Amino acid sequence: MKYILFLLFLIASSTTFAQQLTYQPKNPNFGGETFNYQWLLSSANAQNSFKDPEENAAKDQSELESFASNLNRQLLSQISRGLFTAQLGEGLEAGTYNFGSLALEIYDSNEGLVINILDTNTGEQTQIIVPNQ
């Protein structure tokens, strides 16, 4: 009996075929087919249940609210431009300047004019580099 089972096992194993398994990614970001991009994006957008609250708020504004926010932005821009010209003059010169809780440090470097902006309340820092011409 054992001999027959052994022969059946040998015959079955000799007739089976195998192939090599290979992984092929679907996402084009990871080497997949580039034509899959639109399909993946549309699938992700269809499943996305999150909505941007600011997008809906901008659509829900009346004309009066939109006008008031636009006027507010323009006034704040004009005030900041006035403060900037009063303290810095017409051009940017190297030095350290304070605007309320913002500290500006301006200096020349090999890359160009560097402006470091530090918010002293929160500690957030931003660097702007204006390249040399």
Least confident of 20-24, 25-29, 58-62, 69-73: 58-62
State pLDDT tens for residues 46-78: 998 887 777 666 667 778 888 888 888 888 788
Q: How far is CA 17 from CA 13, 14, 77, 83, 101, in A?
A: 9, 8, 74, 80, 74
Return the domain boundaries, the chain. 1-44, 92-132
The candidate with the shortest Cα–Cα distance to 101, out of 81, 118, 83, is: 118
State pLDDT tens for residues 66-123: 888 888 888 878 877 776 676 666 666 788 888 788 888 888 888 888 888 898 889 8
